[in-house]
Amino acid sequence: MLRNQSRKSMTRLQKIRRLRIAMSVFFLGVVGSLGLMIYFGYQQFIYESYFQYRWKASNALVQINKHIKDHLDTEEQRSPEEYGFYQPTKNPVTGDVTFEVSPLAASVDAANHPLGLLGHFQINANGQFESPLLPLQWQDNANESLPLNSEQIQLRQNAIVTLRALLIDNGFLQAVSLGHGSIESESRWVNANELSRDTSSFDQHTTPDGHIIFHRMAWNNGLVQQGFVVSNELFLFNLIAEFVNLGRFDGLVEARLMNVVEPELAATRYFTYDINDADVSSVEINTSPHSKKDWMRIYFGQLVAPFDQYELRFTTANLPLGPGSEFVFLFLCLLLFVVLAGCVVFYRSGVHHINLAEERMNFASSVSHELKTPLTSILMYSEMLKSDMIDDNQVTKQYHEFIHDESQRLSRLINNVLLLSKVKQTQDLSLEATTVRTLIDLIHSKLGSLLEQHHFKLHIDDAHLGEQALMVNRDAFIQIMINLVDNAIKFYRALEINDPDREKVDIVFSDGKGHTIKMMVRDYGGGLPQSKLKKIFQLFYRDGNELTRTTSGTGIGLALVKTLVKAQQGHIEVKKQNPGLAFHLYFKQPDSEKDHEHPNS
């Protein structure tokens, strides 16, 4: 028997262990799948963000090159005659030639010019410097009348001095000092042997002080050198900064302008784009990197000629995942939480069903024993009485009493099972207003023989509430009392307590919480540990081992008590006493005047 019970117990533990393994494998499988989804989803967002940044960077470079080319195309389409202050215009009808102010004469303010233009220049075939800002004779303070005021003339003279000095400093002109102190210049670029009448494309030269000299060869009454000078920062740097800003990156990006052909001739420039919030962004131009750490490469590309020695390199510290990623990862985390919660719920439900199956097996075994033992005794004594084997009237009377007691025991067991099934199905009982005095009379009439048989005393205190009414179902109420008192007697006898003063049950009525009447049923048995008090109302629960237990029962008595109290809209609690246990039952009082008018008595 012990070996079989041990095998049964091990089977239950094996089932729980198998359930744990199954749930663990399922959870790890789901978590692994979600982990792969999160990993590949993260990688996908990184790739998408990377290619989006790459597209924005390449598009910025395309726009930068397009604007450079458009500006140069506009300059290359100018006729060589426009490089003088006066531009000759021929009337196609009369053939007369008139002189008008060249459009190039309007550029005097580099800070407000979109190209950062300092001015145009022309070096004639005889080496003479000329600018369309002023007529040639006005470049040495001549007194020809011009449609300009003195302030405008002064600004243009200052610009011409700057242009001439830049050309000399960068080798485009060679200065010759004359006796009267003026400066003439001769071009080292003009070659008298070069008689081509074709206009060449612009080349560029970056000066150490931050200017760009665009120059070309053209034919204008001889081979001349023409060009214009712009501020490097206003032309190239601001152009790059503008389109880096228009890229609208989602984070910190650096665009590095580097001279890859001759790195020592020009310092690297860093265009740092940083978006602070949804509406504010800024581009900062530096000569040192924003961070010393290695940044992620986004896109490298060269500028269009004549800046093809420059390379624009886009890098970033990190790639944001984008706004949609937050919702995706939030959904995956929520899904992970749901899976985890589901696994916990399923595991607990599985353990509960395993325990319930085990309890039902124990219940079936207990019920079989509880039915078989009294039936066997009843059958044996009834056969002995039927066969007239007993001649002694006293013995015959004892046999009849034994058959009667065992029949009552069977009746209580069957009533418990049937009533539990009925209440579980309906979850409702018909209630009626019944006075405390009536309930006390019912207790005496229904429990008197049971208490007398086991030599137990019953003490009832109504606390002067005899005329107060409770909403109860009488049959259910009596069944509750029978189960509680029978339990008290049964466990007291099982512990073999030899104390006549403890062979009693106390019932005390008092005002309860809210609109209720409290009824306390206390025994003086061995009681239970505090840790087990919450379990005694569980269906099929019986304290101890099935093989070593000395008390009879099926584990449904107290579960039925709680179910019946709840079906009567009541509440039950159990508290440890010294000695014994005290059950506190709360029953509602009638709510309406109609219930108070005719309480059953």
User: Which position has the higher pLDDT, 478 or 320?
Assistant: 478
Q: What is the rounded CA–CA span in Å between residue 50 and residue 56?
A: 10
Contacts of 12 (CB under 8 A, 6+ apart): 354, 355, 358
CA distances from 229 to 68, 70, 203, 223 (A): 14, 17, 12, 20
Q: What is the pLDDT of residue 428?
A: 66
User: What is the average pLDDT score of the chain?
Assistant: 77
pLDDT digits (tens, 9 = 90+) for 376-430: 778 887 877 777 777 777 778 777 877 877 787 777 777 766 766 666 655 567 8
pLDDT digits (tens, 9 = 90+) for 348-383: 888 888 877 776 776 666 666 666 767 777 888 787
Helix (H, G, I), strand (E, B) or coil at 13: helix
In DSSP terms, which residues pair with 29 in a beta bridge? Answer: none
What pLDDT was estimated at residue 582? 92
Q: 152: pLDDT confidence band, cut at 50, 70 and 90?
A: confident
Mean pLDDT on 98-109? 76
Task: Taking residues 503-509, report their average pLDDT.
Answer: 91
| pLDDT at site 585 | 92
Q: For 8-52, what is each residue's pLDDT tens digit?
A: 456 778 888 888 888 888 888 888 888 888 888 888 888 888 888
Three-state secondary-structure class, residue 92: coil
What does the pLDDT average to over 184-188? 45
| HSE value, Cβ hemisphere, 13 Å, CA-based, for 327 | 3
Hey, what are 190's tokens?
Answer: 């003009």
pLDDT value for 459 = 92
* pTM for this entry: 0.51
DSSP 8-class letter at 279: S
Instruction: Report the alpha-carbon distance of residue 559 to residue 144 in Å, rounded.
Output: 122
Looking at residue 30, its pLDDT comes to 85
For the chain, the distance separating the N- and C-terminal CA atoms, rounded to the nearest angstrom, is 54
Model confidence at 279: pLDDT above 50: no
Q: Kindly tell me if the per-residue pLDDT of 557 is higher than 80.
A: no
Tokens of 427: 């979850």
What does the H/E/C string look like for 531-571? HHCCCCCCCCCCCCCCCCCCCCCCCCHHHHHHHHHHHCCCE
Q: Which option is the CATH number for 374-597: 2.60.40.10, 3.60.15.10, 3.40.1390.20, 3.30.565.10?
A: 3.30.565.10
Tell me the two tokens of residue 21. Answer: 């393994």
- CATH 3.30.565.10 maps onto the chain at 374-597
Tokens of 489: 């007697």
- Tokens 């049937």 identify what position? 418
Most confident listed range (192-206, 274-288, 517-531, 584-598)? 517-531
Q: 314: buried, middle or exposed (CB in 10 Å: 19+, 13-18, 0-12)? A: buried
CA dihedral 278, 283, 289, 294 (to 10 degrees): 30
Cα gap 365→8, rounded to integer Å: 13
Q: What is the 3-state secondary structure (H, E, C) of 342-372?
A: HHHHHHHHHHHHHHHHHHHHHHHHHHHHHHH
Query: 76 versus 280: which is more confidently predicted?
Result: 76
